[in-house]
Structure 1
Amino acid sequence: MKRRSRILVLAAAGLVALSGCSAGSDSGADGRIDGEITVLTQRTDLVDTVFEQYKQEFAKLHPEVKVTFQGITDYEGEVKIRMSSQDYGDVLLIPESITPEQLPSYFEPLGDAAELEKKYRFVPEQTFEGKAYGIAITGNAFGFVYNKKLWQQAGVTAPPTTPAQFLDALRAIGEKTDATPLYTNYRNGWPLAQWEDLRASVAGQPDVITRLADSDAPWTPGDPQEIVDTLLFDAVAGKLTEEDPTTTDWETSKKAIGEGKIATMVLGSWALTQVRELSATPEDLGYLPFPAQVGGRFHSAIAGDYKNAVSVHSKNKDAARAWVDWFADKSGYATAQGGFTPLLGGPEPDSLTDFEDLGVTYFELDRSKDALVKKIDKTAEIGLYQPTYRQTLIDAARGANGKSKEDVFGELNQRWAEAKSQVTS
């Protein structure tokens, strides 16, 4: 499961859905809420266990509301298709492909963003014209899930502070252990989007989105976007990743990293709890910052994962909103999953002791130009939070498509510049 995460994971569910537009729900004059709601989730692994417990707790406050869950394996792909109709549940996670100006067409506003920001983190991530449309299910930091024991066996005892040191560490792992140094999860695709969130660690400040919006060539040497993607390219070109990326498997990788078969994976901090739960030696698994420092310190943005939202087509909006509020305020999901709670002033995740020990500086991103960046990205058909362009980059690095790194970056810069000119003219 992921995010954005974006990620972010899951078991099969068909397009035939329990209707999110069930009949008859209203708040009565006494404030009682009733009706039936369908809640879509990417956490297929939790639908029959943890989410059933949540439903029982929610029922203590709202006994007249019937909740049905739908776990969806290919959440982004399937929900995008369903949203072409009016049948996409009552409560759902806002897909990454939705742009800010599309929010009112699909989702019910939850209130003024400025008011919700007095209670919740990450509100600006899903707002439009001053209205908020989603509340984060959890929040993440960004870096690498890694097997500490393997890194130590390779003689790497201090976190790399530059991409060159990181590549040296991967080489040592490849030479001194039997593990895959860095696993891309190429075939499943969505994990490659996790690389995008690392750009803030390179910049070390909240203006990464603004820099993207203002740039005509984000893949220029030395820019955060280029540094992150070059590290991926160089790792693949150096044969420090899986032998055949077309055969990778996300569910298998979660176990393999705990078994010592994989040393490192780029994933949001949400993943650390999951891989530890599957490992016989969870103490071997930790979280490593991106190999870049600013002012002698590591940095990581923190951002909301998927956002719970209410379908604009729901006939049970009061019940759906009650679930969204309860999930954010009462469920404890974020803490249980090792994430940052969406509630302001909530505790930092216990799972991120590695970041704490290293003195990693956290910050939220300046999102004042987020809508512009998403519009440029969509017009350019790049997909910063989609897998395709990084799959192309990996194919270039392994010699599968006849392109060089410079070819790929040149094409990306050209498409970005043309789209930016079109969007801002």
Structure 2
Amino acid sequence: MAAAGFALAVGLTACGGGGDGEKAGVAAVPNDPAKVTGTITVLTNRTDQVQDGTTKRYAAEFNKVYPNVTVKFQGLTDYEGDVKIRMNSENYGDVLLIPNSVPLNQYPSFFSPLGPASELSGKYDFTDRATVGGQVYGIANIGTANGFVYNKAVWERAGVTGWPKTPQEFVGALKAIKEKTDATPYYTNYHDGWPLTNWGNALGSPSCDPAANDRLAETKEPWAPGQDLNVVDTLLHDIVRNKLSEEDPNTTNWENSKNLIGTGKVATMWLGSWAVVQMKEAARKAGGDPDDIGFMPFPTQVDGTFCSVVRPDYQYAVNVHSQAKEAARAWIEWFVNSSGDAQKALSISSVKGSPLPASLQPFQEAKVRFVHMDFAKNALVNDIDKASEVGLNAQDYRQRIVDVARGAAEGDLAGVFADLNRKWADAQAAIG
């Protein structure tokens, strides 16, 4: 699963760090791979890859290039929680995915710089998300586009063959699915909660604006008419209000939702492109057709063009305390550049110039604009978000929207937006 948004820093201090990142940098990997030696531990959230032997196969391929490095893996189910605790010591692996809870300004305390941004930004996308003082501290393996995973066969049975261009057209398409098929038009995944946080990743798509996140630092009413968050959250509300989602959201189940969309019992879910391969695999196992699984952009256009925000998944870093930094760096570079993991996941490789995965070829053919968000003011936005208690990347307020829309909570959407705007404006004024 991809990293869901960018969580606020909670409770993590630099007591496990203390290393001088600039002095503890990772030298370039020698031209002779045989000279790279050591044993490294790689922490990963992909417990499935550890269990099914994928990581062992990757290590074997890596050893064909670097025969004198031993690679061990630790798969962590509660990755964020476990690693945050481990980072209060020096024992948090040699290679790890940077937890969302680590503030950017603390990266030098925990991770070794991998090189100057002026150099690495020419090789990899998303390096700006892990750059401090001109040095890059993390490299992403993949990026994900935002959009709707959908069952193409169900949509076609409903007579909808083109991508909706407006929220109204999208709701109309779901109504056609309800009227003409037996499928549930939309599945909220309300009960598990975290899938609802993906709606926050739509920020920037309605406006096609790479500065949409940074603008939240100055925007007093982000849910005012015409603002991205108003457009996005109104669509979620209208889907539920029109009874186009599951009958009881408290009974949703994330794992089962894969089977439901894979077999055509559910038509549509808002997720990242990272989910496509999971839905295809679920379809195959459940007797559905993997080719029925498609991906479409948010139903808005700017100057006749769809826009999809692309965000990085977790970024790989080297523990500043590692005794095998050279080997750790070699693993990161090999994994990102040569393992083929991004391609197998049908994800966007962070390596510049890489072709798009097959799942996003329709985006390329339709000339969908991929928007890379600016995050120069993300720390300030996070501070305002924390002070406001809105939770831009949390599930709570969107669960509230679903509850209001289905009549399980008092109020209406206008009241929800007014409350969110008030909280945001008050926090913004308090922080200055």
Specify if TM > 0.5.
yes
- Deviation per CA, 1:98-154: give whole Å up to 9, x if none: 332232333222222222101111111222332222111111211101001111111
2:410 is aligned with 1:402: yes
User: 1:14 matched to which residue of 2?
Assistant: none
CA distance 1:290–1:252, change in 2 (3 Å): same
Give the 3-state SS of the residue equivalent to 1:390 in structure 2.
helix
User: 1:352 matched to which residue of 2?
Assistant: 360
2:170 is aligned with 1:153: no
Give the alignment's TM-score, normalised by structure 2. Answer: 0.86
Structure 1 residue 233: deviation in Å? 1.6
Give the 3-state SS of the residue equivalent to 1:260 in structure 2.
coil
- Deviation per CA, 1:171-193: give whole Å up to 9, x if none: 22122222221112222222222
After TM superposition, the structure 1 = structure 2 runs for residues 219-258 of structure 1, keeping only pairs within 5 Å, are: 219-258=223-262
Checking the alignment, whether the CA contact within 8 Å between 1:299 and 1:360 is kept in structure 2 is yes
| Residue correspondences, number | 406
User: 1:60 matched to which residue of 2?
Assistant: 64
- The one of 179, 185, 190 equivalent to 1:175 is 179
Checking the alignment, whether the CA contact within 8 Å between 1:6 and 1:194 is kept in structure 2 is no
User: 1:283 matched to which residue of 2?
Assistant: 291
- Deviation per CA, 1:10-68: give whole Å up to 9, x if none: xxxxxxxxxxxxxxxx9999983333322222222222332221111112233333222
- The one of 276, 296, 309 equivalent to 1:301 is 309
Structure 1 residue 293: deviation in Å? 0.6
Letter in 1 for 2:406: R
2:340 is aligned with 1:341: no
Counterpart-to-counterpart distance in 1, 2:5 and 2:290: 21
Structure 1 residue 319: deviation in Å? 2.5
Letter in 1 for 2:281: E
- The one of 126, 131, 144 equivalent to 2:130 is 126
User: 2:3 matched to which residue of 1?
Assistant: 3
Letter in 1 for 2:348: F
Letter in 1 for 2:280: R
User: 1:41 matched to which residue of 2?
Assistant: 44
2:273 is aligned with 1:265: no
Counterpart-to-counterpart distance in 2, 1:155 and 1:232: 22
CA distance 1:397–1:95, change in 2 (3 Å): farther
Structure 1 residue 341: deviation in Å? 1.4
Counterpart-to-counterpart distance in 2, 1:200 and 1:225: 9
Structure 1 residue 374: deviation in Å? 2.6
2:237 is aligned with 1:198: no
Letter in 2 for 1:328: V
After TM superposition, the structure 1 = structure 2 runs for residues 24-173 of structure 1, keeping only pairs within 5 Å, are: 32-47=35-50, 48-173=52-177
Letter in 2 for 1:231: L
Letter in 1 for 2:266: I
Checking the alignment, whether the CA contact within 8 Å between 1:5 and 1:140 is kept in structure 2 is no
User: 1:363 matched to which residue of 2?
Assistant: 371
CA distance 1:260–1:5, change in 2 (3 Å): farther
Structure 1 residue 295: deviation in Å? 0.4
CA distance 1:103–1:237, change in 2 (3 Å): farther
Q: CA RMSD in A?
A: 2.5
Q: Greater CA deviation, 273-282 or 158-167?
A: 273-282
CA distance 1:230–1:250, change in 2 (3 Å): same
Counterpart-to-counterpart distance in 2, 1:187 and 1:318: 44
Q: Greater CA deviation, 121-130 or 98-107?
A: 98-107
Checking the alignment, whether the CA contact within 8 Å between 1:90 and 1:314 is kept in structure 2 is yes
Checking the alignment, whether the CA contact within 8 Å between 2:5 and 2:200 is kept in structure 1 is no
Q: Greater CA deviation, 326-335 or 95-104?
A: 95-104
Counterpart-to-counterpart distance in 2, 1:129 and 1:57: 35
2:333 is aligned with 1:330: no
Structure 1 residue 231: deviation in Å? 0.8
Give the 3-state SS of the residue equivalent to 1:298 in structure 2.
strand
Checking the alignment, whether the CA contact within 8 Å between 1:6 and 1:305 is kept in structure 2 is no
CA distance 1:273–1:6, change in 2 (3 Å): farther
Letter in 2 for 1:331: S
CA distance 1:307–1:278, change in 2 (3 Å): same
Letter in 1 for 2:213: I
Letter in 1 for 2:137: Y
CA distance 1:316–1:386, change in 2 (3 Å): farther
Counterpart-to-counterpart distance in 1, 2:303 and 2:372: 18
Checking the alignment, whether the CA contact within 8 Å between 1:5 and 1:270 is kept in structure 2 is no
CA distance 1:275–1:137, change in 2 (3 Å): same
Q: Where do 5+ consecutive residues of structure 2 fail to align? A: 8-25
Give the alignment's TM-score, normalised by structure 1. Answer: 0.88
Structure 1 residue 387: deviation in Å? 2.0
Letter in 2 for 1:237: R
Structure 1 residue 81: deviation in Å? 4.1
The alignment-based identity, stated in percent, is 50
Counterpart-to-counterpart distance in 1, 2:191 and 2:321: 34
CA distance 1:206–1:272, change in 2 (3 Å): same
Counterpart-to-counterpart distance in 1, 2:389 and 2:91: 27
Counterpart-to-counterpart distance in 2, 1:84 and 1:188: 29
After TM superposition, the structure 1 = structure 2 runs for residues 313-328 of structure 1, keeping only pairs within 5 Å, are: 313-328=321-336
Counterpart-to-counterpart distance in 2, 1:399 and 1:350: 40
2:383 is aligned with 1:375: yes
Structure 1 residue 344: deviation in Å? 1.3
CA distance 1:287–1:167, change in 2 (3 Å): same
Structure 1 residue 6: deviation in Å? 7.0
